[in-house]
Structure formats: C-alpha cells, structure tokens
Amino acid sequence: QGLYKEALIQFEKIKDTDFQAMYQLGVMYYDGLGTEKDPERGVEYMNRILNSDSPKARHLKVAAAYNLGRAYYEGCGVKHSTKEAERLWLIAADHGNPTASVKAQSTLGMLYSMPVLKDLKKAFFWHSEACGNGNLESQGALGIMYLYGQGIRQNTKAALACLREAAQRGNIYAQGYLVEYYYTKRFYSKAAALAKRTTENNDINKLAKIADCHPTYVAKGVAIAAFYLARCLQLGRGIKQDQDTAKKYYSKACHLDPAVAYDLERAANLGRI
C-alpha cells in the first residue's frame, strides 16, 4: 500500500502531460489503490483518455474503454447501463483484434450469455475471438457451448478438446464440466479422480486470480466437481464408498453454489445422474 501511495503522488505530478500516468491514476482511484476509492474520478480519467485526440493516448484507448465498460456495468462512478457497457466493450474488443482488449472480447462472450442481452451466437463469436487470442476463461466457455450446442451446432469432439486444454491450463469451470461429462458417460474413475483434484484448493479468489477467471465461475466449477465426487463416494462409483466423506462434499457443493447443488440434487433424485 505504501508503494501505491508513493506512485499516486508521482502520477499526480505528471498526469496532465503523461497519459500513462493518467491511466494508472484512473485505475488506482477506481479500485482504491493507495488512496480512498473515488470511482467518479477514475471514470473521469478514463473518459479523458478515450476522448483524447492525442497520438500519445492511442495505445491506452482500448484499456480505457474496457474499464469504462466495467464502470457502467457495475454502476460504479456512473449510472448503471448495460447498453453503455456493451458499447464500450465493443470499442475495446475492436472486432476481435488480438492487439485490442482480449478481456473485453471474453467479457462480451459472457454478456451475451446472460438473460439481459442473451444472444448465444454473439456469445460464441466473442468467446471464439477471445479464445483465439489466448483467453483461458473463453476457452472453457467454448467447450461448454460446443458440448451442449449453445450458439453453435453440438460437437463433442471440439467440446472435449476445448475443455481438456482449458482444464489443463487451470480453468476450474472447465474441470467441473469435464467431471460431469466423465460421470454421465460412466467413466466413474476418471470423474472421481479429476473431481478430487478440482476440489483440493478451497481458496476460490486465489484460484480465480491465478487463472484470471471470474470467482463466480470458479466456485461453480468446484461445486460441480464436489457434487459429483460426493455422488461417487456415496454410491462407490470409481472410488471406495464412503458415506461420511460424501456428506462433506455435498455440503461443500451447497456452500459454494446452492443453485448448482439444487439442480444436481434434483437430477439425482429423478434418476438422471
């Protein structure tokens, strides 16, 4: 925190002649790094960069647009507006340009998967662009879309290729869905082994930071894995039967994502899994 405070002082001195300093200040004020949070000020600096005609601001525009989109989506420093967030993220994504904001491309994939602006073909397009540009979160999302035919024709081979590579790279959400796939195909030993590895680390925020994936989806991935591991333990599928440990994993799934646990419990009660 001390380093942030010193940086803040130095950036303030040169912000009017140095757009990089202005950008860093925008981030620091928005997130409260080295200073009290002042999202309005953070938004002001990002807007100045985005609207500048100076060639020196050009390389920062996509990052500024992404951050402004985040501000509008969160309603922090500005009035909430999903449409304005979408507009700004489209600017930042720049038609999938690999030198633009890959984070914006992935975020658009997520945005178009949500009820407010649901358009799965657009979601697939943006996840494809982001994945092609190296985004891990979108690689996992693509795998799931291929697996269930969401926004694209169902393709198990492509789904497994995406999910396995994403899982190997640390995408916990992809790991959870791989566990589910293995279990439903009755590869119980594979399902149990992967589920056990997926549920070893309880620090969701740390896992999210390492993989640069949203904590919500990390929690979902662990919850899915925990539920199926509990199921394997309860029924002795692919692993030695252990009712007490099964209960612990069921509880873990419920704690991490009650909605996921409820849906899977319902499926189990109906004999679907």
Instruction: Show the 3-state SS of 191-251.
Output: HHHHHHHHCCCCCHHHHHHHHCCCHHHHHHHHHHHHHHHHHHHHHCCCCCCCHHHHHHHHH
Does 64 have pLDDT greater than 70?
Answer: yes
Is 4 within 8 Å of 28 (Cβ atoms)?
Answer: yes
Tokens matching residue 222: 């662990």
Residues 266, 259: contact at Cβ < 8 Å?
Answer: no
**Nearest one of 69, 179, 162 to 124, comparing CA atoms:** 162
Instruction: Tell me how far apart the alpha carbons of residues 113 and 119 are, in angstroms, rounded to a whole number.
Output: 6
Per-residue confidence (pLDDT) for residue 3, from 0 to 100: 87
Q: What percent of the chain clears pLDDT 90, i.e. is strictly above it?
A: 97
Domains of the chain: 1-100 (1.25.40.10), 115-169 (no CATH), 173-273 (no CATH)
Chain segment 156-214, per-residue pLDDT in tens: 999 999 999 999 999 999 999 999 999 999 999 999 999 999 999 999 999 999 999 99
Convert the pLDDT of each residue in 259-273 to its tens digit: 999 999 999 999 999
Torsion sign across C-alpha atoms 202, 259, 71, 89 = positive
What is the rounded CA–CA span in Å between residue 227 and residue 192?
10
- pTM value is 0.91
State yes or no: pLDDT of 1 exceeds 80.
no
Buried b / exposed e across 235-245, counting CB within 10 Å, b at 16+?
eebbbeeeeee
pLDDT band at 2 (very low <50, low <70, confident <90, very high): low
pLDDT confidence tier of residue 231, bands split at 50, 70 and 90: very high
**Residues 79-129: tens digit of each pLDDT:** 999 999 999 999 999 999 999 999 999 999 999 999 999 999 999 999 999
What distance lies between CA 179 and its chain's CA centroid?
19
What CA–CA distance (Å, rounded) separates 62 from 15?
Answer: 19
Band of residue 29 on the pLDDT scale cut at 50, 70, 90? very high
Query: How many other CB atoms are there within 10 angstroms of residue 162's CB atom?
Result: 25
